[in-house]
């Protein structure tokens, strides 16, 4: 891809080789892209290969989501830079911070929009309020790992789960975590992305592949 950042091109070439070679049928990765104006953005690319009944590649379909704001927000948390920290409140995705007990200490405007709870309602409340009941045991285990300091592997990883809105409805989402220290102790920030649109696209791609397989 000519618009892929040169430093990410080699890794992407290896990934495409595995996908087109049949080692992987789909992929999701985050990499940099160069826009027409010459600026660099971060994109989350999700793609799949559509095959015919014989297993030969017909074509490749994919979706690229702009995740630049989230990447900059993560940098703000790591560096504590006020210039970038302001992006946390202006980013289009929810950004939520909790302390080591799981109490919410930061809730940006996008979190208000997506979940339906105002910041004033959420500060000091347990994060479990916006987690569906079936995921609460998993959440409690994760909190215990965070408190014990044994969750380093969770930092920077992306997890697929569901969020619960104020009206009780649920939506599929991805959560990536960052940690930061302050005089008040250790804190954790979650970067949330609503992936309803992506899930719908993946379903459409799967249906197209099934129809192609049956001929």
| Same domain flag for 167 and 140 | yes
Residue in the block written with tokens 């959560």 = 175
Residue 1: which pLDDT band, with cuts at 50, 70 and 90? Answer: very low
Report the predicted TM-score, pTM, of the whole model to 2 decimal places: 0.58
d(CA 209, CA 50): 6
Which runs of consecutive H residues, i.e. helices, occur in the chain?
6-20, 68-79, 82-90, 109-115, 119-122, 136-148, 196-214
Residue in the block written with tokens 């080591």 = 100
State the number of CA atoms in the 13 A half-sphere of 46 facing the CB: 13
pLDDT digit string, tens, across residues 200-209? 887 777 777 6
Residue 48's CATH number: 3.30.450.20
d(CA 45, CA 8): 13
Q: What residues contact 150, with CB distance under 8 A and at least 6 apart?
A: none
Mean pLDDT over all residues of the chain? 78
Residue 25: which pLDDT band, with cuts at 50, 70 and 90? Answer: low
| Same domain flag for 110 and 178 | yes
Domain-located, residue 96: yes
Write out the two tokens for 11. 């890794």
pLDDT given at position 154: 66
Domain of residue 162, residue span: 69-196
| Same domain flag for 84 and 183 | yes
- Find the mean pLDDT for residues 162-182: 88
């Amino acid at each position: 891809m000519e618009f892929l950042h040169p430093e990410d091109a080699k890794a992407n070439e290896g990934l495409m080789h595995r996908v087109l070679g049949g080692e992987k049928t789909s992929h999701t990765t985050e990499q940099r892209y160069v826009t027409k104006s010459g600026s660099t953005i971060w994109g989350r690319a999700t793609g799949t290969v559509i095959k015919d009944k014989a297993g030969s590649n017909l074509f490749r379909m994919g979706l690229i989501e702009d995740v630049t704001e989230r990447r900059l927000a993560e940098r703000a948390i790591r560096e504590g830079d006020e210039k970038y920290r302001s992006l946390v409140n202006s980013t289009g995705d929810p950004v939520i911070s909790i302390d080591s007990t799981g109490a919410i200490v930061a809730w940006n405007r996008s979190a208000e929009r997506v979940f339906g709870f105002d910041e004033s309602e959420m500060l000091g409340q347990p994060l479990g309020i916006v987690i569906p009941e079936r995921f609460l045991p998993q959440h409690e285990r994760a909190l215990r790992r965070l408190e014990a300091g044994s969750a380093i592997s969770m930092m920077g990883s992306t997890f697929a789960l569901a969020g619960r809105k104020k009206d009780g409805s649920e939506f599929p989402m991805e959560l990536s975590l960052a940690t930061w220290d302050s005089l008040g102790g250790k804190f954790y920030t979650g970067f949330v992305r609503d992936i309803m649109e992506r899930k719908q696209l993946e379903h459409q791609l799967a249906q197209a592949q099934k129809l192609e397989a049956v001929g």
